[in-house]
């Protein structure tokens, strides 16, 4: 099995090629002693519903999983909270302004970017937005649509954590846990 950091051959601190496996989640530089840990990246996902029992669903315009269904969200930027990150991503992808967020759950994921497996920790939030009239697909979203919660099919979602979240969300919805 390949070590998750094998793609990195040089120490990011001193540039040495003496940068080898330290343990299952880190590499260590024999030259300067720097240890680089392979930790998941923070990502957020917004779940937006309306009063008709529908959820806002996006169609991905880019790889990975281009053309499949998705939920609005993305990677957190440095120095922003998860709540700020999900609000920013929703604004960028849908034009909607988030006025309130409520944390639901997390799921681990592997996101393929430029041929590299990025491990993420996806944080899911219920998001209340101000005004649906400004909704428009943008950024890496090809299309936005409302789908009845009961009609959601996890197999239509191309990213593993999003597909898993659909099943979890539907159970929470059916059990009135939202």
- Does domain 41-174 fall into CATH 3.90.79.10? yes
- Cis, peptide link before residue 134, omega less than 30° from 0: no
C-beta of residue 20 within 8 angstroms of C-beta of residue 27: yes
Q: Quote the pLDDT of residue 97.
A: 98
Q: Which pLDDT score is estimated for 114?
A: 83
pLDDT number for residue 115:
81
Q: Report pLDDT digits (tens) over 90-148.
A: 999 999 999 999 999 999 999 988 888 889 999 999 999 999 988 999 999 999 999 99
Question: What tens digit of pLDDT does each residue of 47-81 get?
Answer: 999 999 999 999 999 999 999 999 999 999 999 99
Residue 1 pLDDT grade (very low, low, confident, very high; cuts 50, 70, 90): low
Strands 116-129 and 41-47: parallel
pLDDT value of position 116: 83
Domain ranges of the chain: 1-38, 41-174
């Amino acid at each position: 099995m390949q070590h998750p950091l094998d793609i990195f051959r040089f120490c990011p601190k001193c540039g040495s090629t003496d940068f080898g496996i330290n343990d299952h989640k880190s590499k260590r530089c024999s030259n300067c002693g720097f240890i680089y840990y392979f930790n998941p990246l923070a990502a957020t996902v917004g779940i937006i519903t309306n009063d008709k029992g529908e959820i806002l669903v996006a169609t991905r315009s880019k790889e990975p999983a281009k053309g499949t269904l998705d939920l609005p969200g993305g990677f957190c930027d440095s120095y922003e909270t998860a709540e700020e990150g999900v609000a920013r991503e929703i604004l960028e992808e849908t034009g909607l302004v988030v006025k309130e967020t409520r944390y639901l759950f997390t799921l681990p994921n592997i996101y393929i970017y430029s041929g590299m497996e990025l491990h993420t920790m996806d944080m899911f939030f219920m998001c209340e937005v101000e005004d649906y009239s400004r909704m428009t697909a943008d950024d890496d979203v090809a299309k936005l649509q409302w789908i009845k919660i009961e009609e959601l099919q996890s197999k239509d979602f191309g990213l593993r954590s999003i597909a898993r979240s659909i099943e979890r969300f539907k159970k929470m919805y059916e059990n009135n846990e939202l």
